[in-house]
Structure 1
Amino acid sequence: MGQQKITTFLWFNNQAEEAVELYTSVFDDARVIDIQRYGEAGPGPVDSVMTITFELPGQRFIALNGGPEFSFTEAISLSVDCADQEEVDTLWAKLTEGGGEEGPCGWLKDRFGLSWQIVPRALHELIGDPDKAKASRVMSAMLGMKKIEIQGLLDAAAAG
């Protein structure tokens, strides 16, 4: 892979290592690329992890142990395209484990406060249906869900 021009930078208080360990364990084809440590100039303790560059399926990120000044909000989230319900269920369980929070419409926060959208491909197909009534029923069904259940979407699509 060539150099990625734009990289998402994630600011953690002091949990960058723990977060990267979780994220790289959740996704196939994930890996740590580089670890940079604080030197004598600080501001972190000498030899403690400053940044970790890592990759989740084809996308590069940098996690920073930057201190408590900033925290994540839902204004930005990582959206994951899921092939099927099994993938939705697996990612949902792993990312909410250990203190994560379920949100509405396929959104969740992991235990570090980072927001994710765990979205089955079927949702995009169904809400994009040219039959506007069918698409509206699917959207209404999705709005009532936390983790998205594909069968519930299919049932709503067929209800007309």
Structure 2
Amino acid sequence: MQKISPCLWFRNEAEEAVDFYVSIFPNAKKGEVLRSGESGPGPAGSVVLVNFELFGQSFQALNGNSDETFNNSVSLSVDCKDQAEVDHYWEKLIDGRGKGLACSWLKDRYGVAWQIVPELLPRLLIDPDKAKAARVMAAMMKMVKIDVATIEEAARG
């Protein structure tokens, strides 16, 4: 049993967001949906909380009915095996309504920040060859979506 589950606080679109995320990630699961009773919160039958899983990680989506918004101080990072996987998750999460930020970061249509990271990037950034790591960092800092071929080229010098 997972001891800690991130809870994402949405205004009123928790179930819509969960359905969106579950449609993107393989083997994702939408779990129990908690709805308001006669005594609230919210109108009877409205969604309060939705449990879901992405890659076996449990999450909660809460309708907070608040003006609070997501910010970049917390993001969800997706490790990708190659450029095709980077492209897949990037395009699906942006889906025409999100936006790329910088250095693998994007915000989806709900304002949730994501990092779409090819698995080779962190390895190259901590490479014992400091010049190689610096070239990779410099290349990454010019990118929004990570381009694996450009990162590999920077690593080769």
If the length of structure 2 is used for normalisation, what is the TM-score? 0.97
* Residues in 2 aligned to 1:108 and 1:68: alpha-carbon distance in whole angstroms: 23
Unaligned runs of 5+ in 2: none
Q: What's the counterpart of residue 67 of structure 2? A: 69
Shift of 1:28: 0.6
Name the SS for the 2:7 alignment partner: strand
Q: Which runs of 4+ in 1 moved over 2 A?
A: none
- What do the CA deviations read for 1:110-141 (whole angstroms, capped 9, x no partner)? 00000000000010121121110011000000
> Are the counterparts in 1 of residues 24 and 89 from structure 2 also a CA contact under 8 Å?
yes
The Cα RMSD (Å) is: 0.8
| Cα distance, 1:18–1:98 mapped onto 2, change above 3 Å | farther
Name the SS for the 1:118 alignment partner: strand
Unaligned runs of 5+ in 1: none
Instruction: For 1:75-90, list aligned pairs within 5 A.
Output: 75-90=73-88
Name the SS for the 2:17 alignment partner: helix
Shift of 1:43: 2.1
Q: What's the counterpart of residue 152 of structure 2? A: 154
Q: What's the counterpart of residue 15 of structure 2? A: 17
Q: What's the counterpart of residue 125 of structure 2? A: 127
* Residues in 1 aligned to 2:96 and 2:69: alpha-carbon distance in whole angstroms: 18
Q: What's the counterpart of residue 104 of structure 2? A: 106
Q: Report the count of equivalent residues.
A: 157
Shift of 1:66: 1.3
Identity of aligned residues (%): 53
- Equivalent in 48, 58, 77 of residue 50 of structure 1: 48
If the length of structure 1 is used for normalisation, what is the TM-score? 0.95
- What do the CA deviations read for 1:58-100 (whole angstroms, capped 9, x no partner)? 1000101111231100010001111111000000000001310
* Residues in 2 aligned to 1:143 and 1:96: alpha-carbon distance in whole angstroms: 20
